[in-house]
Amino acid sequence: MSISITVLISSVVLTYLLRAFAHKKQIIDIPNERSSHTLPTPKGGGLAIITVFLMVNIYLYMNSQISSSLFWALICVLPVTAVSMLDDLFTLPAKIRFLVQLLSSLLALYILGGVDSVNLGCCIIEGVWINIIAVISMLWLINLYNFLDGLDGYAASEAVFVGVSVFLLFHNEVGLYLALASLGFLLFNWPKASFFMGDVGSASLGFIFAVLLLNDAGNPNFLAWVILLSLFWFDATVTLLRRFKNKEKLFQAHRKHMYQRLHQAGWSHRKVLLGSIIFNLLLLVGLWFSKVEYYLYLLGSILLILWSMLKYIDKQKGFE
């Protein structure tokens, strides 16, 4: 309990100090036609989440409370954090960011020993080829988490939810500490946000979740990670596919994600955020009362619900 309180307080204090620093150095997110906010807001608060999270993991490692492979795989987030922080400050070429993300993903996957099997609860899929899918998945999760950080509290609340959920479901303390580190920042990011996460937070969180997910690839709780993150990866993946179908420039900024179009349709930041929280809580309830061998069927049901939500949003605000 004392560690949990320390993590939360440390995150709050560091976020407060970083916000003051961002104000002083004018590290500000200026609204444009693609933005969902209207006022210039300091950014870079995600650095507090990652710093506190890594510090508590160092403590866990020194006290043999986390495996060596998982610890060093999580440490591989540092290059992603560094290049994302530089991008927040100076806007780096996409190729440089992608190369760093790729190298960090490959190194983390190597440290984890690769992925030779995926446990779907009802069956196990094996093969060396899974490692290719694993690297692609890591890169996608890094970037999609960045794409979904476009509304007050949205990405931070997702991190809190997923972390708390895996702790409740599987007693995963790493998830709990990630949730508490994110919660400290969320207090400043709740609508109306006074501090933004920035790429330094969103890209790094995506990497961390990718590592934690792949670390459990061979365990029965693998699909739980997929289900808990379903709101984010469904929105990002379907949006990308639809933009590809429309022959749009995929690397051009846009406002076509489900949550963005809901906001454009008249939903406030707070309403969209509360809607996502309610949906996520339903995911947790479903996992809580479901047996592992039924996770795949639960995922199928969730995808149908998400597809219905997509069609509802299409009626509220077209995919234009």
Interval 40-49 mean pLDDT: 96
Tell me what pLDDT residue 35 has: 60
pLDDT tens digits along 87-100: 999 989 999 999 99
Cβ atoms 90, 213 nearer than 8 A = no
* pLDDT for the residue 9: 97
pLDDT class for 85, splitting at 50, 70, 90?
very high
How many separate domains does the chain show? 1
* 258 has a pLDDT exceeding 90: yes
Task: Read off the pLDDT band of 37 (50, 70, 90).
Answer: low
Q: DSSP string spanning 250-266?
A: TTS----SHHHHHHHTT
Cis peptide preceding 192, ω within 30 of 0: yes
Q: Are 259 and 154 in contact (CB under 8 A)?
A: yes
Stretch 28-39: mean pLDDT: 72
Q: Taking the model in full, what pTM does it have?
A: 0.96
Average predicted confidence (pLDDT) for the chain: 94
pLDDT at 33 over 80: no
User: Which pLDDT belongs to residue 1?
Assistant: 67
Question: Across residues 262-274, what is the average pLDDT?
Answer: 94
Domain of 174? Answer: 2-316
C-alpha separations of 50 from 7, 44, 62, 253, 273 in Å: 11, 11, 18, 25, 22
The rounded percent of the chain whose pLDDT value lies above 70 is 98
Give pLDDT tens digits for 226-250: 999 999 999 999 999 999 999 998 8
Can you give the pLDDT at residue 39?
81
Q: What is the pLDDT of residue 66?
A: 96
pLDDT digits (tens, 9 = 90+) for 50-60: 999 999 999 99
d(CA 224, CA 230): 10
Question: Is pLDDT larger for residue 36 or for residue 223?
Answer: 223
Asked if residue 274 has pLDDT above 90, the reply is yes
- Distant-in-sequence contacts of 244-253, Cβ < 8 A, 24+ apart: 246/319, 251/94, 253/34
pLDDT number for residue 38: 66
The whole-angstrom distance between residue 199's C-alpha and the CA centroid of its chain comes to 11
pLDDT, one tens digit per residue, over 98-114 is: 999 999 999 999 999 99
Question: Average pLDDT, stretch 293-306?
Answer: 95
The pLDDT assigned to 260 comes to 94
* Band of pLDDT at residue 36, cut at 50, 70 and 90: low
Structure confidence at residue 194 (pLDDT): 94
Q: How confident is the model at residue 220 (pLDDT cuts 50, 70, 90)?
A: confident
